[in-house]
Amino acid sequence: AQKITQTQPGMFVQEKEAVTLDCTYDTSDQSYGLFWYKQPSSGEMIFLIYQGSYDEQNATEGRYSLNFQKARKSANLVISASQLGDSAMYFCAMRDSPGGLTFGKGTHLIIQP
Amino acid sequence: DAGVIQSPRHEVTEMGQEVTLRCKPISGHNSLFWYRQTMMRGLELLIYFNNNVPIDDSGMPEDRFSAKMPNASFSTLKIQPSEPRDSAVYFCASSPIAGVGSYEQYFGPGTRLTVT
């Protein structure tokens, strides 16, 4: 079974609208961390936001927020007031044991003017 | 402070040749990770080091792949012999620690490998 599932291969959104990118995860561990990374067409991986499994509040970083629903095992990324520069691949990732991250397949977001 | 440095940025080689990818982690980071990104398989962890010691190499696809970290500021990923299916973008990442927690992994720019 996949540990990280991103069900939206691609999304088109109008500029200035809010965007929600879906992510569900699967783990039996109680302690884990969830991450979102952005990969623009230039290829670099840019860290956006982190949510710990014990964090009671949803994480926020500027225009990015993470809608964390632990019981549903979902960690959706919300981008408010989307901009053209937000067009990129977005990856959800999890770490539930010491070591590397497990990534989802990604969502290709295109912001239209 | 410089980020994670990878070289070369692009590598084109012929099948059967040896390929060596290089990585310099962020100074002070104790953990180093090698990932591979392909269209078919996405981003996969190949191996990670903690304090220069390989901890988990279960993601290394075959014996043709090997990785070393001779010191805290340098790591290599070697493919010998290379095959066309090894074509991918290889990322190196580092973090202060490899534990479960908000330890962000900082990625290098990647090496795009093409094996013909």
Q: What is the pLDDT of residue B6?
A: 98
- Reported as a pLDDT band with limits 50, 70 and 90, residue A96 is confident
Contact between A103 and B42 using a beta-carbon 8 Å cutoff: yes
In the DSSP assignment, the letter for residue A27 is -
Residue A95 gets the label, from left (phi > 0), alpha (psi -120 to 50) or beta, of: beta
Pairing outcome for strands B111-115 and B53-56? unpaired
Nearest CA in chain A to B39: A105
Q: What is the pLDDT of residue A99?
A: 80
Cα–Cα distance for residue pair A99/A81, rounded to 1 Å: 34
User: What residues pair up with A60 in beta bridges, in sequence order?
Assistant: A65
Contact between A102 and B107 using a beta-carbon 8 Å cutoff: no
B104 contacts in chain A (CB < 8 Å): 35, 47, 50
B33 contacts in chain A (CB < 8 Å): 99-101
Residue A18 has pLDDT above 80, yes or no: yes
Contact between A97 and B100 using a beta-carbon 8 Å cutoff: yes
Q: Mean of the pLDDT values across residues B9-32?
A: 96
**Lowest-confidence region among A41-50, A92-101, B59-68:** A92-101
Contact between B35 and A100 using a beta-carbon 8 Å cutoff: yes
Give A104 to chain B, closest Cα distance, Å.
Answer: 8
- Reported as a pLDDT band with limits 50, 70 and 90, residue A100 is confident
- Reported as a pLDDT band with limits 50, 70 and 90, residue B62 is confident
List CB contacts of A53: < 8 A, sequence separation 6 or more: A29, A30, A31, A32, A33, A34, A70
Q: Which value, to the nearest 10 degrees, does the dihedral of the CA atoms of residues B89, B90, B94, B98 take?
A: 110
Pairing outcome for strands A60-61 and A64-69? antiparallel
How is residue A12 written in tokens?
């088109």
The DSSP string of B63-77 is: TTEEEEEEETTEEEE
Residue B101 has pLDDT above 80, yes or no: no
Contact between A102 and B89 using a beta-carbon 8 Å cutoff: no
For residue B115, which phi and psi values (nearest 5 degrees)? -110, 120
B51 reaches A (C-beta below 8 A): no
Pairing outcome for strands B19-24 and B74-79? antiparallel
Residue recorded with tokens 């070591």 = A99
Q: What is the pLDDT of residue B104?
A: 81
The 10s digit of each residue's pLDDT in B63-84 is 999 999 999 999 999 999 999 9
Residue A1 has pLDDT above 60, yes or no: no
Contact between B42 and A105 using a beta-carbon 8 Å cutoff: yes
The 10s digit of each residue's pLDDT in A48-88 is 999 999 988 999 999 999 999 999 999 999 999 999 999 99
Of the candidates B25, B43, B35, the residue with the CA atom closest to the CA atom of residue B97:
B25
Quote the distance between the C-alpha of residue A98 and its chain's center: 20
B106 reaches A (C-beta below 8 A): yes
Nearest CA in chain A to B42: A105
- Reported as a pLDDT band with limits 50, 70 and 90, residue A42 is very high
